Amino acid sequence: MAPSVDNNNIVVSSLKLERTLSMKGGNGESSYANNSQAQAIHARSMLHLLEETLDRIKLRSPESPFVVADLGCSSGSNTIYIIDVIVKHMVKRYEIFGGYNQLPEFSAFFSDLPSNDFNTLFQLLPPLINYGGSMEECLVATSHRPYFAAGVPGSFYRRLFPARSVDVFYSAFSLHWLSQVPESVSEKRSMAYNKGKVFIHGAEEMTTKAYKKQFQSDLASFLRARSDEMKKGGTMFLVCLGRTSVDPTDQGGAGLLFGTHFQDAWDDLVQEGLISSEKRDDFNIPIYAPSLQDFKEVVEEDGSFTIDNLQVFKGGSPLVVNCPDDPIEVGRALANSCRAVSGVLVDAHIGDQRSEDLFKRVERRATNHAKELLEQLQFFHIVASLSFP
């Protein structure tokens, strides 16, 4: 999701964040497309849970299009792979259980903030199959896509689709992004002011309470929007960063990624006189890794969806390296991973040159702690399967 900046390059309101935030586009070394292998591995490890969710969907007459939407799709190939899995699984369900001679037409909506690199994403799409609607065509299509595709720019914390139009919502590795940094966290006179830090890992209790409140408010808005857009009998499969600790100041893998070497690199810039301490303190990563209870409370209070499955899933390390014994490769992998998801915000806040300085220091620090990172950096995810009765 995406923030924007005022004249002092300070990330502020939700609307401004929405206009700025995106995963790093293009195909460069630090792009999201080239630094999302870990997300691909984690998503594939959850396919059995996704397929269980898809098995709960009500099959409709082929006269009604089957619609799937990926919310927070970003710009790499992961989203295309998942949509392909969903469509082909539903094709098989129609073949076995539908009792119809023809398939519905399938539509896939790829949705993210307007700042997302949709161009790179659409260039990865295979050509559309010569769509005749026959099961045979869809089942044998390997190099073509058996669905119509469209991009939908906008924040998933608001309405994006017509009422009762979507059969399946899928969202992975996105809902931990807040719609904004809580205002009190950036307000110097506030008890929640996150002085000296750029993330909430290890922050004061009032700061983490503000983040939790923002997360739960955002998730409630997300659920309200989806309850208007989903067809009766539809399902939703959601994955976001989570934590196993009840203590919100312990942000788990996200805390190690953004609360240690990333934080220390900001402190380096301050100590070297490259930026002011105020400039550092005005930057906060708008991410919150919820506990299972944080997530469950909101879903139950909203009441629109039935919880079919809700669990904490061990995703593993976000670092994918060819030579784990090479500290330089590990350091570069961590810096690129960090930059792929936060680089756009950092660029907006301190400019391209200082951003380059920052991530060089992240890389150097990570290189010096490579063994520790490989041993300790583990992500846990909240995985939720929700149905709409």
Please report the pLDDT score of residue 22 as a whole number. 53
Please report the pLDDT score of residue 194 as a whole number. 93
Q: How much of the chain exceeds pLDDT 90, in percent?
A: 61
Query: What band does 2 get if pLDDT is binned at 50, 70 and 90?
Result: very low
Please report the pLDDT score of residue 327 as a whole number. 93
Residue 363 belongs to what H/E stretch? helix 327-368
Q: Is the pLDDT of residue 15 over 90?
A: no
Q: Is the pLDDT of residue 8 over 50?
A: no
What average pLDDT does the segment 111-133 reach?
Answer: 83
Torsion angle (degrees, nearest 10) of CA 201, 205, 206, 212: 60
Pairwise pLDDT comparison (316 vs 51), residue with the higher score = 51
Token pair of 3, please? 């923030």
Considering only CA atoms, which of 37, 33, 15 is closest in space to residue 24? Answer: 33
| Residue 314, number of CB atoms within 10 A of its CB | 11
Torsion angle (degrees, nearest 10) of CA 52, 58, 60, 64: -80
Q: Which domains does the chain have, with CATH numbers?
A: 14-248+285-318+379-387 (3.40.50.150)
Tens of pLDDT, residue by residue over 267-289, are 999 999 999 999 999 999 999 99
Distance, in Å, from the CA atom of 87 to the CA atom of 189, rounded to the nearest integer, reads 52
What average pLDDT does the segment 237-257 reach?
Answer: 90
Q: Please tell me whether the overall predicted TM-score, pTM, comes out greater than 0.75 for this model.
A: yes
Distance, in Å, from the CA atom of 329 to the CA atom of 269, rounded to the nearest integer, reads 23
Burial class (CB in 10 A: 0-12, 13-18, 19+), 188: exposed
Query: What band does 14 get if pLDDT is binned at 50, 70 and 90?
Result: low
Q: How is 165-208 classified by DSSP, letter by letter?
A: -EEEEEEES-TTB-SS--HHHH-TTSTT--TT-SSSTT--HHHH
Q: Is the pLDDT of residue 12 over 90?
A: no
Tens of pLDDT, residue by residue over 92-116, are 999 888 677 788 999 999 999 988 8
Largest CA distance in the chain: 71
Please report the pLDDT score of residue 212 as a whole number. 95
Tens of pLDDT, residue by residue over 66-97, are 999 999 998 878 899 999 999 999 999 998 88
Query: What band does 19 get if pLDDT is binned at 50, 70 and 90?
Result: low
Residue given tokens 């309470």 in the structure block: 209
Considering only CA atoms, which of 266, 237, 270 is closest in space to residue 381? Answer: 237
What average pLDDT does the segment 302-307 reach?
Answer: 97
Question: Which of 97-101, 134-138, 268-272, 361-365 is the least confident region?
Answer: 134-138
Buried b (16+ CB within 10 A) or exposed e, 93-131: ebeeebeeeebbbbbbbbbbbebbbbebbeeebeeebeb
Token pair of 44, please? 């594939």
Q: ∠ CA(112), CA(127), CA(108), 5° rounding?
A: 35
